[in-house]
Structure 1
Amino acid sequence: MTKIAKGQSTIKTKKCLIAQAMFLALSCSSSLVYAAEQEKHSNEFEVIEVTSQKRVQNVMKVPITVGTISADTLEESSSILLSDVDKFIPGFDFGDNSMTQSGISMRGISSPNISSGGDPSSATFYDGVYMPRAAQNVLFSDIERIEVLKGPQGTLFGRNAAMGVVNILPRKPTEDFEGFIKGSWGTDNLARYEGMVNVPLSQSVYLRANMLTNSQDGFVKNISEPQWNQNSKIWDSGARHHNAARVALLWEVSGDTEFQFSIDLDDLEQAPPLSIGLSQYAYNGGKTPFAGEVENDVRDGVESRDMYGVTAKLDHQFNDELSMKYLISYRDWETINRQDDDGTGDITRSFSTSNNEDSSILYTELQFNYVNKKFNAVAGFSYSKEDVAQQTELNVTADTITRLTTGELNNVIRGSFAQELAAAIGGNSDAHAQGAFGPGATFDGVVEQLYQGSGFPLDHIWNSDEWAGALNALGFADPIMAAIGMGGMPLSGAIVSATGDLTYDIVSQQLGIAEIFGPSYSGQFWQENIINTGDFTNWGLYFDVDYAITEKWHVLGGVRYSKDTKDFSWTIPETTFVAQRPGVGNQLFPMVDITASDSWGKVTGRLVTNYELTDDQMIFASYSTGYKSGGFDSLVPINQAAGGKAFAPEDSANLEFGYKAVLNKSLSANISIYNTQLDNFQISIDSKQPGSPTAVPSIINENREVRGLEIDLRWLATDELSFGIVSDFRKTDVERPSFYDANGDLRAAENSSFDASANYTAMIDWAHDFDFGLIGLHADYVYVENTNDQSANLTDFQLAVKEYFYDKKDINMRLSWTSGSEALEAGLWVRNLTDERYIEGIGGLTANVLGTPYGRINRGREVGLDFKYNF
Structure 2
Amino acid sequence: MPLPLRVPSHSARLRPLAIAVAALLPLAAAAQETPATAEAKAQQEAVTLDAVQVTAQRRVENAKDVPVSLTAVDGEKLNVLASGGQDVRFLSGRVPSLNIESSFGRAFPRFYIRGLGNTDFDLNASQPVSLIYDDVVQENPILKGFPVFDLDQVEVLRGPQGTLFGRNTPAGVVKFESRRPTQETEGYVQASVGTNESVNVEGAVGGALSDRWSARVSMLYQKQDGWVDNTYAAGPEKKLEGYEEMAARLQLLYDSGDGFEALFNVHARDLGGTARLFRANIFKKGTNDFVDGFDRDKVSIDGQNFQKLESQGASARLSWDLGRTTLYSITGYESVDTLSRGDIDGGFGASFLGPGNFGPGNIPFASESADGLPDHRQLSQEFRIESNEWGRFDWQAGLFYFDEDITVDSFNYDSLAGGAQAGHAVQKQRNKAWAVFASGEYDVTDKFKLRGGLRYTQDKKDFTASVLEAAPFGTPVSGPFPVRTDANDVSWDLSGTYAINPDVNFYARVAKGFRAPSIQARLLFSPMPSVADSEEVVSFEAGIKADLWNKRARMGFSVFRYDVKDQQLVAVGGSNNSAILLNADKSLGQGFEFDLEAYLTDNLLVTLGSSYNDTEIKDKSLAVAVCGATFFAPPLCTVTNPTQQLANGTTVAFIDGNPLPQAPKWIHNLTARWGVPVGDGEFFVYTDWAYRGEINYFLYEAKEFKGKPLVEGGLRVGYNWNVGNYEVALFGRNITDTERAVGGIDFNNLTGFINEPRMWGLEFTAKF
Tell me, yes or no, if the aligned pair for 1:630 and 1:650 is still in contact at 8 Å. Answer: yes
Say whether 1:572 aligns with 2:588: no
Point out the structure with max Rg over C-alpha: 1
Aligned to 2:392: 374
Q: Secondary structure at the match of 1:546?
A: strand
Q: After the TM superposition, which residues 506-521 of structure 1 pair with which residues of structure 2 at under 5 Å, given as runs?
A: none
Q: After the TM superposition, which residues 272-311 of structure 1 pair with which residues of structure 2 at under 5 Å, given as runs?
A: 272-278=275-281, 287-299=292-304, 301-311=305-315
Aligned to 1:175: 183
- Structure 1 window deviating more from structure 2 (212-221 vs 542-551): it is 212-221
Cα distance, 1:794–1:290 mapped onto 2, change above 3 Å: farther
Aligned to 1:462: none
Tell me, yes or no, if the aligned pair for 1:844 and 1:853 is still in contact at 8 Å. Answer: yes
- In structure 2, how many angstroms separate the alpha carbons of the residues matched to 1:728 and 1:115? 29
- Structure 1 window deviating more from structure 2 (567-576 vs 698-707): it is 567-576
Q: Which of 721, 726, 732 is the aligned partner of 1:824?
A: 726
Cα distance, 1:375–1:286 mapped onto 2, change above 3 Å: same
Q: Secondary structure at the match of 2:79?
A: helix
Tell me, yes or no, if the aligned pair for 1:117 and 1:633 is still in contact at 8 Å. Answer: yes
Aligned to 1:735: 618
Q: After the TM superposition, which residues 609-648 of structure 1 pair with which residues of structure 2 at under 5 Å, given as runs?
A: 609-635=496-522, 646-648=531-533
Q: Which of 572, 591, 599 is the aligned partner of 1:708?
A: 591
TM-superposed deviation, 1:237:
2.9
Tell me, yes or no, if the aligned pair for 1:116 and 1:634 is still in contact at 8 Å. Answer: no
Tell me, yes or no, if the aligned pair for 2:283 and 2:291 is still in contact at 8 Å. Answer: yes
Tell me, yes or no, if the aligned pair for 1:122 and 1:160 is still in contact at 8 Å. Answer: yes
Tell me, yes or no, if the aligned pair for 1:159 and 1:562 is still in contact at 8 Å. Answer: no
Tell me, yes or no, if the aligned pair for 2:283 and 2:750 is still in contact at 8 Å. Answer: no
Q: After the TM superposition, which residues 547-586 of structure 1 pair with which residues of structure 2 at under 5 Å, given as runs?
A: 547-575=442-470, 586=472
Say whether 1:57 aligns with 2:58: no
Aligned to 1:867: 764
Say whether 1:667 aligns with 2:667: no
Aligned to 2:349: 346
Q: Secondary structure at the match of 2:476?
A: coil
Q: After the TM superposition, which residues 145-156 of structure 1 pair with which residues of structure 2 at under 5 Å, given as runs?
A: 145-156=153-164
Q: Which of 693, 701, 708 is the aligned partner of 1:806?
A: 708
Tell me, yes or no, if the aligned pair for 2:197 and 2:225 is still in contact at 8 Å. Answer: yes
Q: Which of 578, 597, 621 is the aligned partner of 1:696?
A: 578
Aligned to 1:3: none
TM-superposed deviation, 1:335:
0.7
- In structure 1, how many angstroms separate the alpha carbons of the residues matched to 2:683 and 2:436? 51
Q: Secondary structure at the match of 2:532?
A: coil
Q: Secondary structure at the match of 2:164?
A: helix
TM-superposed deviation, 1:622:
0.5
Q: Which of 74, 86, 91 is the aligned partner of 2:97?
A: 91
- In structure 1, how many angstroms separate the alpha carbons of the residues matched to 2:102 and 2:483? 32
Q: Which of 60, 63, 70 is the aligned partner of 1:66?
A: 70
Q: Secondary structure at the match of 1:88?
A: coil
Cα distance, 1:142–1:687 mapped onto 2, change above 3 Å: closer
- In structure 2, how many angstroms separate the alpha carbons of the residues matched to 1:809 and 1:191? 26
Tell me, yes or no, if the aligned pair for 1:270 and 1:303 is still in contact at 8 Å. Answer: yes
Q: Secondary structure at the match of 2:601?
A: coil
Tell me, yes or no, if the aligned pair for 2:115 and 2:664 is still in contact at 8 Å. Answer: no
Q: Secondary structure at the match of 1:213?
A: strand
TM-superposed deviation, 1:188:
1.1
Q: Secondary structure at the match of 1:722?
A: strand
Aligned to 2:316: 312
TM-superposed deviation, 1:550:
1.0
- In structure 2, how many angstroms separate the alpha carbons of the residues matched to 1:184 and 1:527? 43
Tell me, yes or no, if the aligned pair for 2:283 and 2:751 is still in contact at 8 Å. Answer: no
Q: Secondary structure at the match of 1:188?
A: helix
TM-superposed deviation, 1:198:
0.4
TM-superposed deviation, 1:384:
0.9
What TM-score, normalized to structure 2? 0.84
Aligned length: 675
- In structure 1, how many angstroms separate the alpha carbons of the residues matched to 2:513 and 2:134? 22
- Structure 1 gaps of 5+ residues are 1-37, 400-521, 577-585
Aligned to 1:780: 688
Aligned to 1:497: none
- Structure 2 gaps of 5+ residues are 1-41, 285-289, 354-364, 631-649
- In structure 2, how many angstroms separate the alpha carbons of the residues matched to 1:202 and 1:39? 45
Query: In proportion to residue count, which structure has more strand?
Result: 2
- Structure 1 window deviating more from structure 2 (270-279 vs 739-748): it is 739-748
- In structure 1, how many angstroms separate the alpha carbons of the residues matched to 2:334 and 2:175? 17
- In structure 1, how many angstroms separate the alpha carbons of the residues matched to 2:730 and 2:59? 38
Aligned to 2:701: 794
Say whether 1:111 aligns with 2:8: no
- In structure 1, how many angstroms separate the alpha carbons of the residues matched to 2:145 and 2:419? 35
Task: Give per-residue Cα distances to partners, 1:794-823, cap 9 Å, x unaligned.
Answer: 347x26xxxx64321222211121113433
TM-superposed deviation, 1:279:
6.3
- In structure 2, how many angstroms separate the alpha carbons of the residues matched to 1:116 and 1:536? 14
TM-superposed deviation, 1:87:
2.8
- In structure 2, how many angstroms separate the alpha carbons of the residues matched to 1:704 and 1:212? 41
- Structure 1 window deviating more from structure 2 (152-161 vs 775-784): it is 775-784
Letter in 1 for 2:691: Y
Letter in 2 for 1:259: A
Q: Secondary structure at the match of 2:761?
A: strand
Q: Give aligned-pair identity as a percent.
A: 22
- In structure 1, how many angstroms separate the alpha carbons of the residues matched to 2:446 and 2:160? 27
Letter in 2 for 1:71: G
Q: After the TM superposition, which residues 408-487 of structure 1 pair with which residues of structure 2 at under 5 Å, given as runs?
A: none
Tell me, yes or no, if the aligned pair for 1:66 and 1:150 is still in contact at 8 Å. Answer: yes
Query: In proportion to residue count, which structure has more helix?
Result: 1
- In structure 1, how many angstroms separate the alpha carbons of the residues matched to 2:170 and 2:230? 40
- In structure 2, how many angstroms separate the alpha carbons of the residues matched to 1:634 and 1:77? 37
Tell me, yes or no, if the aligned pair for 1:741 and 1:747 is still in contact at 8 Å. Answer: yes
Cα distance, 1:170–1:629 mapped onto 2, change above 3 Å: same
Letter in 2 for 1:326: S
Aligned to 1:251: 254
Say whether 1:78 aligns with 2:85: no
TM-superposed deviation, 1:753:
4.7
Aligned to 1:503: none
TM-superposed deviation, 1:554:
0.3
TM-superposed deviation, 1:609:
0.6
Q: Which of 375, 379, 397 is the aligned partner of 1:362?
A: 379
TM-superposed deviation, 1:773:
0.8
Q: Secondary structure at the match of 1:83?
A: helix
Task: Give per-residue Cα distances to partners, 1:86-115, cap 9 Å, x unaligned.
Answer: 333100112144233221011112213423
Aligned to 2:750: 853
Letter in 1 for 2:93: K
Say whether 1:771 aligns with 2:679: yes
Letter in 1 for 2:571: I
TM-superposed deviation, 1:137:
1.0
Q: Secondary structure at the match of 2:77?
A: helix
- In structure 1, how many angstroms separate the alpha carbons of the residues matched to 2:110 and 2:421? 31
Tell me, yes or no, if the aligned pair for 2:669 and 2:688 is still in contact at 8 Å. Answer: yes
TM-superposed deviation, 1:331:
1.0
Say whether 1:654 aligns with 2:539: yes
Say whether 1:540 aligns with 2:435: yes
Tell me, yes or no, if the aligned pair for 2:71 and 2:595 is still in contact at 8 Å. Answer: no
Tell me, yes or no, if the aligned pair for 1:54 and 1:378 is still in contact at 8 Å. Answer: no
Cα distance, 1:645–1:695 mapped onto 2, change above 3 Å: closer
Q: Secondary structure at the match of 1:794?
A: coil
TM-superposed deviation, 1:218:
2.5
- In structure 1, how many angstroms separate the alpha carbons of the residues matched to 2:263 and 2:238? 40
Task: Give per-residue Cα distances to partners, 1:458-477, cap 9 Å, x unaligned.
Answer: xxxxxxxxxxxxxxxxxxxx
- Structure 1 window deviating more from structure 2 (345-354 vs 671-680): it is 345-354
Q: Secondary structure at the match of 1:84?
A: helix
Aligned to 1:588: 474
Task: Give per-residue Cα distances to partners, 1:36-62, cap 9 Å, x unaligned.
Answer: xx9985131211211111111111110
Cα distance, 1:235–1:200 mapped onto 2, change above 3 Å: farther
- In structure 1, how many angstroms separate the alpha carbons of the residues matched to 2:317 and 2:736? 47
